[in-house]
Amino acid sequence: MNYIGYDCPVCGKPFAQGEDIVVCPVCGAPHHRECYKQKGGCGLEENHAKGIAWEDHVKNQAPRQQSTQGSGNYSSNSYQSSNVQRCPSCGSVNPADGIFCQVCGTMMQRRNAGFGGAAPFQQQGRYQQQQQYDPGYTTFSPYAGMNPEDKLGEATVREVSTYVGPASHFYLSRFRLSVKNNNRNMSFCWSGFLFGPLYFFYRKVYRVAIPLLILFLFSILPSFVYSYEYLREAMLQYTSLPFPLPTIETPALQQLATISNFAQFGGLIVSAIMGFTGHKIYLNDINRKIAKIKARCQGVSTDEYISTLAREGGVSTVLTAVLVGVLVLGYFAASMAIAVILQVNL
């Protein structure tokens, strides 16, 4: 919420833009951070036993002033980072590419609204728990229909959503299936199947991406060796290579062709395994990294913890683009090297 213009219940002074504000976890009353510390708790503690929320307490006050800053469940100190954005409704810190606010469920990017273009969640706490899996609902709703405090492994749904960043609503619906089915992966990861190491580099699952890249390079190596031997035999038999290229069969080429086919078949099997287990691998990696981040961020503000999750999570677009460029250049470099070696030797 935007607390600018309301009075601090301890000092009585109205909140101004840019002030450090904390919120009582019981009634939701905002305080200056120093006032809250000085008081040792909420300035409206007498309302707690009566069940009176801060919003009911101030509903007859003058409307709050318009401002682009806010506070909410988090402190309103401005932690500037290109990896985060402030919710326009409650002012909470969110990942820069987030679609829904991690606290109140407000649509962060209207162009990504649900079916029909309407933002179905506009008020704090309005998440809904679906009894049955609905792909449409879980894909276009905050937290895929789960309580943000529910667990996906050791991390909460809110933490996982913040760490995943782009397409978090998509992945939460897939993780939800895995948890619902006793940690058995029940959705196929097409990105892991089709792109293998590139997908895991993009999602920063490096401990899987690096071995997959090595296996991929070894799987295509026999093809380059076969190409070299084939061209060498063709140049020995023909003064100029005809097109289409002729069929050449020698014991060495047949052996290399068999090895190349086995390598490609092995690569296909690995791709299929990554497709069936990709989402589970990604969720396990998320839980492992969130645990490390949480251990490092003991004692820091909530804003900084969320910003760290968003910064260290998300995707690695630049690294993936560089890797694609290196692989393409490497392919052409290897082809040129084969041609040069053949010219020198023959």
Please check the confidence at residue 135 and state whether its pLDDT lies above 50.
no
| SS3 category, 5 | coil
**Angle in degrees, CA 216, 218, 220, rounded to 5:** 75
Please check the confidence at residue 130 and state whether its pLDDT lies above 50.
no
Q: Return the pLDDT at 107.
A: 61
Residues paired with residue 23 on neighbouring β-strands, in sequence order: 30
Over residues 177-234, the pLDDT tens digits come to: 766 666 565 678 999 999 999 999 999 999 999 999 999 999 999 988 888 888 888 8
> Domains along the chain?
1-78 (3.30.40), 99-180 (no CATH), 190-345 (no CATH)
Q: Which range, 38-47, 98-107, 279-288, 330-339, has the best average confidence (pLDDT)?
A: 279-288
Please check the confidence at residue 61 and state whether its pLDDT lies above 80.
no
The mean pLDDT value of the chain amounts to 76
Query: 151-152 and 84-86: which strand pairing?
Result: unpaired
**Cα(226)–Cα(252) distance, rounded to whole angstroms?**
9
**Cα(124)–Cα(28) distance, rounded to whole angstroms?**
12
Q: Return the pLDDT at 138.
A: 41
| SS3 category, 254 | helix
**Cα(288)–Cα(56) distance, rounded to whole angstroms?**
42
Question: DSSP string of 261-313?
Answer: HHHHHHHHHHHHHHHHHHHHHHHHHHHHHHHHHHHHTTTS-HHHHHHHHHHHS
Give 14's DSSP letter: B
Q: How confident is the model at residue 102 (pLDDT cuts 50, 70, 90)?
A: low
* Burial letters 128-137, b for 16+ CB under 10 A, else e: eeeeeeeeeb
Token digits of residue 305:
């913890």
Q: What is the pTM of this model?
A: 0.59
**Cα(161)–Cα(170) distance, rounded to whole angstroms?**
10
Please check the confidence at residue 7 and state whether its pLDDT lies above 70.
yes
Element (H, E) at 245: none
